[in-house]
Amino acid sequence: MTRAERQYARIEVDFGSRLRPLDEDELESAMVGLAAAPSVWSPSGESGLRDLVGSAAGTSEALLAQAVLDLTEQIVHLRSGLAQRDEPASYPARLLELSGGGGRLRTDLPLQSGETLELRIDDEPDGPPPVRCVIEVVRPVDDTPRCYGFRFHTMHPRDKDRMIRLIYSLQRMTIRRSHGDEAQEADDAMTES
């Protein structure tokens, strides 16, 4: 992804997250673990099951496909919850901005440029499993206390794809809202004349 593409795929957010500082030994272990398995497990036939549910609504095949999808979702949430229970101490943070290459976060944990941390983005308790990645603090943001710019250091490709899809989805919603506001303003202006 080029710098221009990363710039375009940038959106302001407000997501809950957790940070865990990593020493050199933990960094290598975290990088290997994140590279080996994505945060989200999904069966290879998930899209086919979703197609079957949508196209054959009400049939026994659709009901079975939906049951498999529901069970898969429960397994993913259970797996995510068990993983969180065994995690070492982490600190709360708020993600303020995301892009394909990094972002901006706020935390009470004092950070230094060059510091590496494990970041877990888990804003929705009943939503999808959290995205986990290793980040590197690039710089403190001068105008905001305890706010830092970071770049993604290590992330599974599926999690990176998931993050980019989320960014584009949020951008589309923002554009729709702004066009809706503009259309409403135009209607109001025409009504006033």
pLDDT score at 44: 44
From CA 122, how far away is CA 129, in angstroms rounded?
7
Show the tokens assigned to 121. Answer: 């983005």
Show the tokens assigned to 157. Answer: 């490709």
Q: Using the 8-state DSSP alphabet, how is residue 130 labeled?
A: P
Element containing residue 164 per DSSP (H, E): helix 157-192
What's the chain's average pLDDT?
Answer: 75
pLDDT score at 11: 82
Average pLDDT over residues 130-153: 89
**Residue 80 in contact with residue 5, Cβ under 8 Å?**
no
User: If pLDDT is split at 50, 70 and 90, which confidence band does 162 have?
Assistant: confident
**Residue 95 in contact with residue 14, Cβ under 8 Å?**
yes
User: If pLDDT is split at 50, 70 and 90, which confidence band does 42 have?
Assistant: very low
From CA 21, how far away is CA 119, in angstroms rounded?
9
User: If pLDDT is split at 50, 70 and 90, which confidence band does 43 have?
Assistant: very low
pLDDT score at 6: 46
**What percent of the chain shows pLDDT beyond 70?**
63
Structural domains present in the chain: 3-40+91-192 (2.40.10.220)
How many other C-beta atoms lie within 10 A of the C-beta of residue 80? 19
User: If pLDDT is split at 50, 70 and 90, which confidence band does 52 have?
Assistant: low
Its pTM surpasses 0.75: no
pLDDT score at 165: 82
From CA 1, how far away is CA 152, in angstroms rounded?
13
Instruction: Kindly report, residue by residue over 57-114, the tens digit of the pLDDT.
Output: 667 777 776 777 677 666 655 555 555 555 567 889 999 998 888 999 999 999 999 9
Instruction: Kindly report, residue by residue over 5-16, the tens digit of the pLDDT.
Output: 444 567 888 888
Max avg pLDDT among 46-55, 93-102, 171-180: 93-102
pLDDT score at 128: 61
- Tell me how far CA of residue 56 lies from CA of 49, 53, 62, 153, in angstroms: 10, 6, 5, 43
pLDDT at 115 over 90: yes
Instruction: Kindly report, residue by residue over 21-39, the tens digit of the pLDDT.
Output: 998 888 888 887 777 766 6
- Cα torsion through 30, 36, 42, 44, rounded to 10: 170
pLDDT score at 32: 79
The DSSP annotation for 26-39 comes to HHHHHHHHHHHS-S
